[in-house]
């Protein structure tokens, strides 16, 4: 569930991670244990077993104390600089940030009682205000190291925005706030550094990160891959179907696109190349499968938890709503691969090389059992705070009892160190992103900006969506998905909701379009990671990823125009739209790949091949687009129009495919 950046892709530059000495590794591990203990104490209301209850702000600053200072140890001043030692200035930043966090824990009750965030100059002592200014600067520097320069400049500019708000042009104009009052609001309030991003991390994300790491260190990756090979490997395009199945399962647990490509891809990409897939296509398939995994329940990326905080709903509601779009996306990937394999007469992997499904299940049954428990706790019992902790505990017990991957001291150390590095990265990024939320909260700009955007778009939801899609895509190139989502959830989402669109569908729309840049050149981080494993041309891999994952560009428009596809509406409407979406996706995939199920290779149509393929794509999109809602046509009219476009093409292709072949 860690954030992904260009630095995660092999061969993109000097290392941004410092090689820690044994002493610093020991401190990282120790502070990770403390952070997990703090979270466990807070979630289960243990009161430290002595009757002391922490305020939320004390708990949040406690996490900052043990994690944020480590950003200056884990990440050097710039990539490649002092990666083998900790220089004196980083040690000084470590000590300073630790001291500031201690001060903020110590003053948390007093600042809450006296309202320092609103009247700092009158209520707070000077040293407290100085501490707030210093922490503001420290948070921005930690963000720069963990998230990069683009994220730093955007968040720094917006964190300073309240100071210069009165001189900004419309629609960004608002009353200015003094520097010290701005600093006090950023640090002492629950709306900025300790705002929605940090609250989501402290209350939900930590537990799911621990669960994902536990899966990784108990051998779940090899189980999911073996299970996928046993089920799909011997069918046509089987190696690629294995990539979809295994990457989807494992990635939905880890929530990290790049790490998923670099782990499952090392097994699936060579197998795809061996069965006839071009290197660029193999890398693209893995990139698309790993990208979709972050959009798939039961455990999506950190962004989904923040979305639940923004919407003030349970994570279970977000996960359920995301299930249908994710299913449509993976169905599209599966059909693209199956039709590609059919057109190129590919075969599956030899059955003798495939693992026995019974043996695989007997050796890893407890992974499925634990995931079922997690889903039940999340969706049935609504215990989303407890779910990852209970699932992790059961997984570790079953692993020690039944697995060949039983933990020793090395695995325990690796487990805590792996969690620690992800915790440090996320706290540095999420605390910095919170400054954006705080700036808009302090100035009250969101309401006026919403009205201005609606006026610019002429009240047309489709135009606003196109603006949002383009902005999400551009921001997704240079920002983490979480930062991109939060930015647009503050700036754009209120406008779309006020235009009459469903709030949950709008937030999922923003999240989807923020993910598009992972498979779209010129950035396409997931595709480039897949290309590095496949030893293929990165741009060619990115172009192939766009083609194979093309449904990701349309699905968000489908569910935001009619939210039945995110389970916001009548069950009968959903059933009808889901069935027509499956039909439409099948036709679109056939048109894109030049091979249609039950018909065969569309090259048999001769000079009419491309007219037939274009008609299938257009008709398929019309089938998949749900009628009603904000669509201009009713469901019945959309289906009739789609049939009128695609049926003649299918009929022609069917007859042409059955013509006798020339001698």
Question: Three-state SS across 284-324?
Answer: HHHHHHHHHHCCCCCCCCHHHHHHHHHHCCCHHHHHHHHHH
Residue 287 CA neighbour count, 13 Å, CB half: 41
- Per-residue pLDDT averaged across 374-382, rounded? 86
Predicted local distance difference test score (pLDDT) of residue 472: 78
403-433 tens-digit pLDDT: 887 899 999 999 999 999 999 999 999 999 9
- Per-residue pLDDT averaged across 166-185, rounded? 86
Predicted local distance difference test score (pLDDT) of residue 465: 83
Predicted local distance difference test score (pLDDT) of residue 107: 93
CB distance 240 to 287 below 8 Å? no
- At residue 237 the predicted structure's pLDDT band, cuts being 50, 70 and 90, is confident
Cα–Cα nearest to 574, from 554, 559, 587, 552: 559
| 1 has pLDDT over 60 | no
| 517 has pLDDT over 90 | no
480/13: higher pLDDT: 480
Of 436-440, 473-477, 526-530, which gets the smallest average pLDDT? 473-477
Query: CA-based Rg of the chain, rounded to a whole angstrom?
Result: 26
Distances (CA, A) of 524 to 223, 259, 283, 377: 28, 14, 12, 35
**Bridge-partner residues for 601, per DSSP?**
595
Predicted local distance difference test score (pLDDT) of residue 121: 62
Q: Which residue pairs from 468-475 have beta carbons closer than 8 angstroms and sit at least 24 positions apart in sequence? A: 468/492, 468/496, 468/509, 468/510, 468/513, 469/509, 469/513, 469/556, 469/557, 472/510, 472/513, 472/514, 472/516, 473/513, 473/514, 473/516, 473/517, 473/520, 475/514
Q: Tell me the C-alpha distance between 26 and 417, whole Å.
A: 9
252/426: higher pLDDT: 426
Predicted local distance difference test score (pLDDT) of residue 33: 97
Paired tokens of 38: 């703090």
2/383: higher pLDDT: 383
CB distance 407 to 399 below 8 Å? yes
644/303: higher pLDDT: 644
- At residue 662 the predicted structure's pLDDT band, cuts being 50, 70 and 90, is low
For residues 539, 541, 543, 549, the Cα torsion angle rounded to the nearest 10 degrees is -150
| 7 has pLDDT over 50 | no
CB distance 298 to 375 below 8 Å? yes
Predicted local distance difference test score (pLDDT) of residue 459: 65
| 93 has pLDDT over 90 | yes
- At residue 641 the predicted structure's pLDDT band, cuts being 50, 70 and 90, is very high
Q: Tell me the C-alpha distance between 387 and 377, whole Å.
A: 5
Q: Which residues does 408 contact at the CB level (< 8 Å), separation at least 6?
A: none
| 13 has pLDDT over 80 | no
CB distance 635 to 626 below 8 Å? yes
- Per-residue pLDDT averaged across 199-223, rounded? 88
449-472 tens-digit pLDDT: 776 777 776 767 778 888 878 877
- At residue 609 the predicted structure's pLDDT band, cuts being 50, 70 and 90, is very high
CB distance 274 to 239 below 8 Å? yes
Predicted local distance difference test score (pLDDT) of residue 30: 97
Which DSSP helix (H) or strand (E) runs through 450?
helix 445-456
Predicted local distance difference test score (pLDDT) of residue 464: 81
Predicted local distance difference test score (pLDDT) of residue 229: 86
- At residue 639 the predicted structure's pLDDT band, cuts being 50, 70 and 90, is very high
- At residue 112 the predicted structure's pLDDT band, cuts being 50, 70 and 90, is confident
Which DSSP helix (H) or strand (E) runs through 387?
helix 387-402
Buried b (16+ CB within 10 A) or exposed e, 497-509: bbbebbbbbbbbb
556-591 tens-digit pLDDT: 888 888 888 998 888 888 999 999 999 999 999 999
First to last CA, the chain: 57
Share of the chain above pLDDT 90, in %: 45
The rounded mean pLDDT for the chain is 87
- Per-residue pLDDT averaged across 301-318, rounded? 88
Predicted local distance difference test score (pLDDT) of residue 35: 97
Query: pTM score, two decimals?
Result: 0.87
- Per-residue pLDDT averaged across 99-122, rounded? 87
Q: Tell me the C-alpha distance between 297 and 303, whole Å.
A: 12
For residues 511, 290, 299, 355, the Cα torsion angle rounded to the nearest 10 degrees is 160
Predicted local distance difference test score (pLDDT) of residue 6: 47
**Bridge-partner residues for 600, per DSSP?**
596
14-73 tens-digit pLDDT: 778 899 999 999 999 999 999 999 999 999 989 888 888 899 999 999 999 999 999 999
Distances (CA, A) of 95 to 89, 102, 131: 10, 11, 14
CB distance 139 to 193 below 8 Å? yes
Q: Tell me the C-alpha distance between 391 and 416, whole Å.
A: 17
What's the farthest any 2 CA atoms get from each other in the chain?
A: 94
- Per-residue pLDDT averaged across 330-349, rounded? 89
Predicted local distance difference test score (pLDDT) of residue 402: 87
| 87 has pLDDT over 60 | yes
Q: How many CB atoms lie within 10 A of CB 413?
A: 14
């Amino acid at each position: 569930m860690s954030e992904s950046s260009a630095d995660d892709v092999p061969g993109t530059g000097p290392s941004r991670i410092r090689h820690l000495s044994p002493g610093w590794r020991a401190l990282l591990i120790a502070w990770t244990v403390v952070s997990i203990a703090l979270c466990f104490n807070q979630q289960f209301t243990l009161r430290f077993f002595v009757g002391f209850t922490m305020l939320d702000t004390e708990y949040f600053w406690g996490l900052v104390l043990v994690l944020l200072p480590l950003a200056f140890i884990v990440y050097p001043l710039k990539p490649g600089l002092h990666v083998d030692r900790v220089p004196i200035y980083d040690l000084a930043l470590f000590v300073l940030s630790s001291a500031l966090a201690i001060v903020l824990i110590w003053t948390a009750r007093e600042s809450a009682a006296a309202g320092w965030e609103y009247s700092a100059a009158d209520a707070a002592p000077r040293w407290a205000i100085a501490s707030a200014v210093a922490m503001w600067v420290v948070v921005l520097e930690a963000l720069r190291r963990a998230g990069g320069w683009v994220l730093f400049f955007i968040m720094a500019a917006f964190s300073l925005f309240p100071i210069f708000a009165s001189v900004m042009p419309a629609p960004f104009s608002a009353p200015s706030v003094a520097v010290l009052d701005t600093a006090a609001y950023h640090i002492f309030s629950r709306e900025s550094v300790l705002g929605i991003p940090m609250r989501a991390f402290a209350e939900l994300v930590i537990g799911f990160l621990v669960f994902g790491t536990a899966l990784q260190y108990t051998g779940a990756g090899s189980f999911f891959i073996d299970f996928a090979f046993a089920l799909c490997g011997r069918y046509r395009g089987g190696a690629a179907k294995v990539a979809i199945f295994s990457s989807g399962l494992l990635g939905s647990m880890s929530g990290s696109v790049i790490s998923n490509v670099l782990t499952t891809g090392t097994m699936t990409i060579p197998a795809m190349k061996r069965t006839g897939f071009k290197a660029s296509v193999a890398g693209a398939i893995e990139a698309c499968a790993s990208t979709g995994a972050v959009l798939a329940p039961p455990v999506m990326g950190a962004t989904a938890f923040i979305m639940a905080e923004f919407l003030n709903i349970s994570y279970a509601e977000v996960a359920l709503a995301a299930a249908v779009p994710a299913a449509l996306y993976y169905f599209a990937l599966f059909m693209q691969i199956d039709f590609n394999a059919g057109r190129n007469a590919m075969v599956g992997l030899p059955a003798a090389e495939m693992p026995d499904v019974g043996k695989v299940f007997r050796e890893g049954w407890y992974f499925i059992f634990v995931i079922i428990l997690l889903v039940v706790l999340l969706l049935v019992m609504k215990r989303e705070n407890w779910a990852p902790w209970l699932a992790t505990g059961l997984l570790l017990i079953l692993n020690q009892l039944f697995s060949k991957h039983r933990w020793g001291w090395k695995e325990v150390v690796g487990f805590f160190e792996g969690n620690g590095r992800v915790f440090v990265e996320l706290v540095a990024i999420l605390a910095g992103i919170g400054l954006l939320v705080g700036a808009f909260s302090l100035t009250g700009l969101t309401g006026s900006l919403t009205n201005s955007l609606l006026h610019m778009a002429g009240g047309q939801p489709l135009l606003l969506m196109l603006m949002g899609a383009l902005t999400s895509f551009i921001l997704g190139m240079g920002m983490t998905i979480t930062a991109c989502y939060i930015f647009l959830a503050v700036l754009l989402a209120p406008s779309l909701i006020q235009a009459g669109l469903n709030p949950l569908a709008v937030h999922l729309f923003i999240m989807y379009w923020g993910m598009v840049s992972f498979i779209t050149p010129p950035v396409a981080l997931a595709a480039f990671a897949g290309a590095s494993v496949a030893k293929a041309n990165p741009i060619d891999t990115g172009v192939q990823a766009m083609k194979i994952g093309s449904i990701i560009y349309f699905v968000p428009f489908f569910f935001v125009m009619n939210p039945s596809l995110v389970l916001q509406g009548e069950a009968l409407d959903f059933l009808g739209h889901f069935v027509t979406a499956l039909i439409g996706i099948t036709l679109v995939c056939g048109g894109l790949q030049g091979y249609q199920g039950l018909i065969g290779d569309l090259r048999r149509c001769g000079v009419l091949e491309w007219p037939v393929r274009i008609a299938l794509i257009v008709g398929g999109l019309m089938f998949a687009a749900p009628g009603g809602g904000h669509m201009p046509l009713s469901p019945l009219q959309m289906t009739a129009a789609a049939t009128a476009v695609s049926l003649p093409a299918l009929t022609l292709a069917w007859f042409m495919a059955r013509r006798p072949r020339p001698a």
